[in-house]
Amino acid sequence: MARALLANLADRVNAPTGVPGRMSPSQAKTEVLSGLTVALALVPEAVAFAFVAGVSPLVGLYAAFIVGLITALIGGRPGMISGATGALAVVMVSLVAEHGVEYLFAAVVLMGILQLLAGIFRLGKFIRLVPHPVMLGFVNGLAIVIFLAQLSQFQVPGSAELTGHGSSGGEWLSGVPLMLMLALVALTMAIIWALPKLTTAIPAPLAGIGITALIVILFGIDVPRVGDLASVQGGLPAFHIPMVPLTWETFTIIAPYALILAAIGLIESLLTLNLVGEIVGERGGSSKECVAQGVANTVTGFFGGMGGCAMIGQSMINVKSGGRTRLSGASAAIFLLIFIVAASPLIEQIPLAALVGVMFMVVIGTFAWKSLTILLKVPAADALVIILVTVTTVLTDLAIAVVVGVIVSALTYAWQNAVRIRAKTYYTPEGAKVYQVQGPLFFGSVEGFTELFDIPEDPGRVIVDFADSRVADQSALTAIEALAKKYEDAGKRIELRHLSRDCHRLLQKAGQLMTDSDDDPEYGVAADYQVRTGVLAGGH
């Protein structure tokens, strides 16, 4: 049985999409080296975000290992990297400050359970409601956040608390130390840019880190190193039940944080999933990713980790380095654990400049530069959404930015459709006036719909044709009812044509005014609602 389980796990790791398969030794080498590159970049990020949350660096490193390993094995997008992130850390800091780290572990467990439920109930599919301008604003804003987060590395070690969005007012490097730091960053970036033109045998970011670190160590160059942030040495993560009272009061303390963390984690993970999917040409997997994030965070909370979600920066490093399968993500997590348990003295010698150079290249590759050229070409509303989401991501956090972007996009869409309602009019040989309604009829367009009709001047017989329209919600049904009543009160006859069967059932007073036709539309209106006491309650 154990052998069968191991074989199944190997198949999942080997297959790019989780489908059993095999990879060549060359591809396996690329995947493992890509994972090593990601692991090196994960160390300072996990340490920095642990500082943001106010917890020990090992709490961040354990989260990066556990969340990264589990999501790599069962996540919705092979090649995507998860770990401790700044978006979650900034939410955790007040909980840790007020109640302690044990309450954080409990909140992470509850966060995982909520995410697991979101996956079970397939709520991940709603990420498709995020418009493309919001996605552009998301990647641009996140690229800027990644850039700002690296600025803290240009401060004198220990002079300022690390933050997720850059420095917090510490002493900046100057003179020769600054010049050395900038030169090494530039060297790393140059290697990453030039190496793929010569060979693809080694991931360019790994080569950049390795060559720069070798130069620094051999020549004894005095620049900030990973060890200057904190020691990354530790043991294996141990099972640990959060030491909090199992009371309703505890639940009321951790529940708001868990809900916010779960929402932010899923939004960032699902948007990253879509972004990576566009690069590797894959679709779907959103609900599966929700389940993976939920399982990962639930386990992390029981092993002393701060929780996490998908990391767009590290995911881009992995994809650009050739990582396409579950092996790369799993390798990154395993290498990270090796760093913690056995190789911390070596890892602590890596210059921060090399890692900053890698992340600067990620920024360049992540930012949607074409969005700058299309701002004047796309509709003004879309341009506004791109800029709004970008700025909001930088100033607040990703979840707020996405919600704001979706709301603005939805309101814009509703307004654009609201002003599209119109009608062509003509008279039949019998003298009846026909209103041929065009455009969607919904809550935003009902006022414009009502204004189309000239009840006092219309003849005794009026025909309203909905063949070129669509009745979308309860507000539309109410508007039709109100229109029919107005004509009835005026002593005039009104006929309604080309309405769906749902309209026939749901329209109370105007139902007898509709004319059946073989070409009536078949769409549903208010299919999930019932008519009670003569009042229409529902939408499409």
> Residue 510's pLDDT is what?
56
Q: What is the pLDDT of residue 158?
A: 58
Looking at residue 8, its pLDDT comes to 46
- CA-to-CA separations, 37 to 149, 206, 229, 322, in angstroms, rounded: 19, 5, 19, 11
Local structure of residue 309 (DSSP, 8 states): E
Question: Which letter does DSSP use for residue 458 in this model?
Answer: S
Quote the pLDDT of residue 337.
95
Is residue 369 helix, strand or coil? Answer: coil
Percent of the chain's residues with pLDDT above 90: 53
Choose among 232, 228, 187, 231: nearest CA to 210.
Answer: 187
Pairwise CA distance, residues 507 & 515, whole Å: 13
Q: How many C-beta neighbours within 10 Å does residue 381 have?
A: 15
Half-sphere exposure of residue 91: CA atoms within 13 angstroms, side-chain side:
28
User: Which pLDDT does position 29 carry in this prediction?
Assistant: 92
Q: What does residue 76 show for φ and ψ, rounded to 5 degrees?
A: -85, -15
- The sign one gets for the Cα dihedral 167, 336, 359, 13 is negative
- The answer to whether residue 267 scores a pLDDT higher than 80 is yes
Residue 409 to residues 215, 403, 406, 531, Cα–Cα distance (Å)? 50, 10, 5, 31
Round to whole Å and give the CA distance between 143 and 474. 42
- CA 505 to chain CA centroid, Å, is 41
Are the C-beta atoms of 314 and 81 separated by less than 8 Å?
A: yes
Please determine, for residue 54, whether its predicted confidence score (pLDDT) is greater than 60: yes
Q: How far apart are CA 232 and CA 59, in angstroms?
A: 10
Statement: residue 413 has pLDDT above 70: yes
> Do 336 and 32 meet the contact criterion of CB atoms below 8 Å apart?
no
Confidence of residue 481 (pLDDT cuts 50, 70, 90): confident
Q: Is there a contact between 476 and 443 (Cβ–Cβ < 8 Å)?
A: yes
65-87 pLDDT per residue, tens: 999 999 999 999 999 999 998 88
> What is the DSSP-derived secondary structure letter of residue 461?
E
Pairing of strands 433-441, 514-515: unpaired
Q: Which helix (H) or strand (E) is 443 found in, with range?
A: none
Spatial CB neighbours of 143, under 8 Å, sequence gap ≥ 6: 362, 363, 366, 367
Contacts of 154 (CB under 8 A, 6+ apart): 167, 172, 173, 178, 181
Which positions ≥6 away from 442 have C-beta within 8 Å?
414, 417, 418, 472, 473, 475, 476, 539, 540
Residue for token digits 């090593």?
36
441/449 Cα distance (integer angstroms)? 7
Phi then psi for 225, rounded to 5 degrees? -125, 170
Residue among 514, 479, 486 nearest 500 (CA): 514
Taking Cα atoms as reference points, which of 136, 205, 146, 35 lies closest to residue 389?
136
pLDDT confidence band for 21 (50 / 70 / 90): low
- 6: pLDDT confidence band, cut at 50, 70 and 90? very low
pLDDT of 513: 62
SS3 (DSSP) at 250: helix
Tens digit of pLDDT for each residue in 340-349? 999 999 999 9
Q: What is the largest CA-CA distance in the chain?
A: 99
Residue 149's pLDDT band (boundaries 50, 70, 90)? confident
The bridge status of strand 82-83 relative to strand 309-310 is antiparallel
Closest CA to 324 of 34, 43, 45, 41: 34
Q: d(Cα 481, Cα 9) in Å, to the nearest integer?
A: 61
Phi first, then psi: give them for residue 258, nearest 5 degrees: -60, -40
So what's the pLDDT on residue 178?
93
> Structure tokens of 407?
């709301």
DSSP 373-388: HHTTTS-HHHHHHHHH
Model pTM?
0.76
Cα separations in angstroms, 153 against 133, 182, 233: 32, 11, 21
pLDDT recorded at residue 398: 76
Q: Cα–Cα distance between 152 and 352 in angstroms, integer?
A: 10
Residue-wise pLDDT for 288-326, tens only, equals 999 999 999 999 999 999 999 999 889 989 998 899 899
More confident: 127 or 243? 243
pLDDT tens-place string over residues 488-539: 999 999 988 888 776 766 665 555 566 666 666 765 554 333 333 233 333 3
Q: What average pLDDT does range 207-235 have in this prediction?
A: 92
Give the architecture-level CATH label for domain 419-515. Answer: 2-Layer Sandwich (3.30)
Contact 66, 305 (CB under 8 A): yes
Average pLDDT, the chain: 85
**φ, ψ at 479 (rounded to 5°):** -65, -40
The tokens for 12 are 């999942």
Q: How is residue 155 written in tokens?
A: 């401060």
Q: Which residue intervals of the chain bear CATH 3.30.750.24?
A: 419-515
